[in-house]
Amino acid sequence: MTETPVTVTERAARRILELAAGEPTMLRVSVEGGGCSGFQYKFDLARAPAADDVIVERGGAKVLIDPVSLAYLGGSEIDFVDDLIGASFRVKNPNAAASCGCGTSFSM
């Protein structure tokens, strides 16, 4: 068995399932150029995976990651936090050399 390159916390899995509300909905996580630190995380809902997506599953919740984004996300943990500044998905990325205060952009 190969090691999963990205993990999903139980909180994130629960939130994905809440968003799906019984529909076949998955969370797509990708990395794009931009943001205040050079790269930024993008979160979208998807109904089906693309042919080359990596699918990470936890408790019935599925996260889709394209191969290019996976190169930046290897070893990361996807979490869901609900704190004073708001509720959002967050990526704990061991590859990021720096990140912005809001946690949505990073540099390598």
CATH of the domain at 77: 2.60.300.12
- From residue 28, alpha-carbon distances to 69, 78, 83, 98 in Å are 10, 11, 22, 23
Question: What range defines the domain where residue 11 resides?
Answer: 7-107
- Cβ-contact 30, 39 below 8 angstroms: no
Whether residue 2 lies inside any domain: the answer is: no
Domain count within the chain = 1
- Cβ-contact 59, 13 below 8 angstroms: yes
Q: What is the pLDDT along the chain (108 residues), one digit of tens a residue?
A: 345 589 999 999 999 999 988 788 899 999 988 766 678 889 999 999 999 999 999 999 999 999 999 998 989 999 999 888 788 899 998 877 656 555 555 555
